[in-house]
Amino acid sequence: MLIDTYGRVATDLRVSLTDRCNLRCTYCMPEEGLQWLSKPDLLTDDEIVRLIDIAVTSLGIKEVRFTGGEPLLRPGLVGIVERVAALAPRPQMSLTTNGIGLRRTATALKAAGLDRVNVSLDTLRPEVFKALTRRDRHKDVIEGLHAAREAGLTPVKVNTVLMPGLNEDEAPDLLAWAVEHDYELRFIEQMPLDAQHGWKREGMVTAGDILASLRTRFELAPEGADERGSAPAERWIVDGGPHRVGVIASVTRPFCAACDRTRLTADGQIRTCLFATEETDLRGALRSGAPDEEIARIWRLAMWGKKAGSGLDDPSFLQPERPMSAIGG
């Protein structure tokens, strides 16, 4: 079991498979100049599967989310999913992706055992997509979403970040589109995880702003705390149902008290929080020949030291030095 001093138990493992991405979203990374991890620093496929095996069989992990950077850039992704699906007990598996490669991989991922996907899409307007991501790939994401739904990777969740002056007016249109296509839309407040440290609390589009915009066109009824559990998204029933819309308000409505996540970076470090500035090395233990029991002990000790909150509400908050692409969202 992965328990901390506040009684929280981690059952959800986020695994970053690579720090690389084929987009350059303005709220995540600069257009150029990032120092990528070298291949020897990255965990191998075998090391990833071994760590997930330890997490599932010895530490109580029930859900595994593959992230990046962009996890579809990992050459061995389908094989990793297939091997994790064969573990006993079998964890629920999902993947967070920008969707660009989903059209060609969705069917194979479903066959390998992936349960569902979260796809990042911030706008319905191709020109705004190009401005936000610095790439002209909007059509590829739309096709990837369709492929995921057709392959049965459902519910297909769409993650959206609203940025002032770019797409902050699109919330109602995005929700209408998601309802039409049977996607579950989740708005995410912009978080301080950009490599260029350009995030500012002032002027950000908040959960309150998002909900006020949605209510100009839709009737929203809160789903309730019992339904939410430890999920990061607060959800609202849209126009009486059955569709839902979520808001992940890490900045203005933190949910740290119910957090059940532990994070493994692409280079084998344990992070107890997305906003943590400290890491615990598992790669070194793996490569020095440590047995599973020792690795599990190190992991438990790391989680025991998890802080009460993210620190975002502290004026002296220290932004993590590594961008989100290296940590895993």
274-295 burial, b at 16+ Cβ within 10 Å, e below that, comes to: bbbeebbebbebbeeeeeeeeb
Rounded to a whole number of angstroms, the CA Rg of the chain reads 19
Q: Are 204 and 249 in contact (CB under 8 A)?
A: no
Q: Are 125 and 98 in contact (CB under 8 A)?
A: no
SS3 for 187? strand
Strand 116-120 relative to strand 157-160: parallel, antiparallel, unpaired? parallel
CA distances, 303 to each of 17, 50, 324 (Å)? 21, 19, 20
Q: What CA–CA distance (Å, rounded) separates 264 from 119?
A: 20
Which residue positions form the known binding site for GTP?
Answer: 14, 65, 96, 157, 261-263
Which residue positions form the known binding site?
Answer: 14, 21, 25, 27-28, 65, 69, 96, 120, 157, 191, 256, 259, 261-263, 273
Q: Are 145 and 181 in contact (CB under 8 A)?
A: yes
25-60 burial, b at 16+ Cβ within 10 Å, e below that, comes to: bbbbbeeeebeebeeeebbebeebbbbbbbbbebbe
Query: Which residue type, as a one-letter code, is found at position 123?
Result: T
Which residue positions form the known binding site for [4Fe-4S] cluster?
Answer: 21, 25, 28, 256, 259, 273
Question: What is the DSSP code string of 65-127?
Answer: EEESS-GGG-TTHHHHHHHHHTSSSPPEEEEEE-STTHHHHHHHHHHHT--EEEEE---S-HH
Which residue positions form the known binding site for S-adenosyl-L-methionine?
Answer: 27, 69, 120, 191
Reading across the β-sheet that carries 280-281, which strands appear in turn?
Answer: 220-222, 234-238, 244-248, 184-188, 157-160, 116-120, 92-97, 63-67, 12-16, 261-264, 269-271, 280-281
